[in-house]
Amino acid sequence: MDFSFLHAADLHLGSPFVGIGKSNPKLQEHLQNAYFKSFRKLVDLAISRTVDLVLLSGDIFDDDRPSLQTQKIFRDGLNRLTAKGIPVVIILGNHDADLLDNLYFALPEKVHILGTDQVDHLAMQVAGGTIDIFGLSFKPGQQARELKGIFKRGQPNNFAIGMLHCEIGNTSGTYAPVTIKQLSDCDIDYWALGHVHSPKVLSENPYIVYSGTIQGSNKNELGSKGCFLVSVKDQFVNLEFNDLHSVLWTNVDLDISNFDKGELVDSLFDLKNRLRSSEQGIMLKVNLTGFSQLNSWLLEKDEMEDIISELRREEEKEDFVWITEVGIKTKPAELYTELFNSKDFLGDVLRLLEVAKLDKDNQMDLIKVFEEVAAGIEDELDLNEIFEQAAFKAIELLGGGD
């Protein structure tokens, strides 16, 4: 048996993107379209990789009364998939549990939405065999239940997929709570789960997988978002995560030790330019760190707001880098001198770091180590910055300056 499928969930089409309010209407428009762009990327991926089917494990829409525009975009994507002979299997999640009562359009013939009252079963033919898909849509107020009795595998030689929109571990929860043991006991080869917005592989025997959302929606959903392309050959399973997000939420630390005001502002603009990408927009939080002579000045609200306002100027194109926040995590520069001269273990550590920084032979050894550790990182290594960050981390861990 040789086949592949996409496992995605939590598309949240129609979600009101948060992050900038009404301060930049053009950028807000880009953000509102981010979910739709990510969904189109999902469809493009399925077609370009010629998968055998697409699984969508709940919360396709952000609510169960999606707008006509949102439904039309979804239907257009389904039509593209089914026109290429790719069936789509859907379960509903807690956000769109009552969707079926509010659809404008009939679904294409090869699109299947599985029910809520009992486990539905679909048998699909692929190269060299049959896939059995068992799924149960989310039902509001659904409590913990025994899964082994309702997810009943049929033919032992068929590859079995289970679909649930659920939370794992919290058996007293209200979002269809289950345990890993319950899922493992069901004799299912691959669990295609939804509800958790970060991609997670909880088990490989059997595979218990959250694909995560395809597009982060706020500052708590950092990093790449997308779906899993799952390839199965002779019962061997391979997972390949594919980025689909159109807007990336990310945090970056910037050490501003020894910076003056001009160097700070220049470094913030340089950081934006380094991160800018034609492939995605970026919602960026910058955390300023280090021992800074600007520490008191940075804590003045008006000064920081002026810098952020300038950083946000003219960020209206699709390759935007929008500063969501600048976090002040610096310590006063004079604190370093005080701790450096202290007669305790922390002082010893800081003095050793200073000696190592000035030792040319030691620097050459360190460069070799850092180059090995940082292989593949594009940013140029700066030993002074590395030593300053090491000193800052030592003080943080050893309790200096509390």
Contacts of 309 (CB under 8 A, 6+ apart): none
- Across the strands, what pairs with 243? 226
120-126 and 111-113 beta bridge pairing = unpaired
Domains of the chain: 2-243 (3.60.21.10), 246-329 (no CATH), 333-402 (no CATH)
Q: What is the pLDDT along the chain (402 residues), one digit of tens a residue?
A: 899 999 999 999 998 876 566 668 888 888 889 999 999 999 999 999 999 999 999 999 998 889 999 999 999 999 999 999 999 999 998 888 778 788 888 889 999 999 888 889 999 998 878 999 999 888 776 555 667 667 878 788 899 999 999 888 765 666 777 889 989 988 899 999 999 999 999 999 999 999 999 999 989 999 999 999 999 998 899 999 999 999 999 999 999 988 999 999 999 999 999 999 988 999 999 999 988 889 888 887 788 888 999 999 888 888 999 999 999 888 887 666 666 667 777 667 767 767 666 666 665 655 555 454 444 444 444 566 666 666 666 666 666 555
Q: Are the C-beta atoms of 170 and 144 separated by less than 8 Å? A: no
Q: What are phi and psi of 380, to 5 degrees?
A: -70, 140
Q: Please, which residues have CB within 8 angstroms of residue 254's CB and are 6 or more apart in sequence? A: 267, 268, 271, 286, 287, 288, 289
User: Per this entry, what is the length of the chain?
Assistant: 402
pLDDT tens digit string along 218-263? Answer: 899 999 999 999 999 988 999 999 999 999 999 999 999 889 999 9
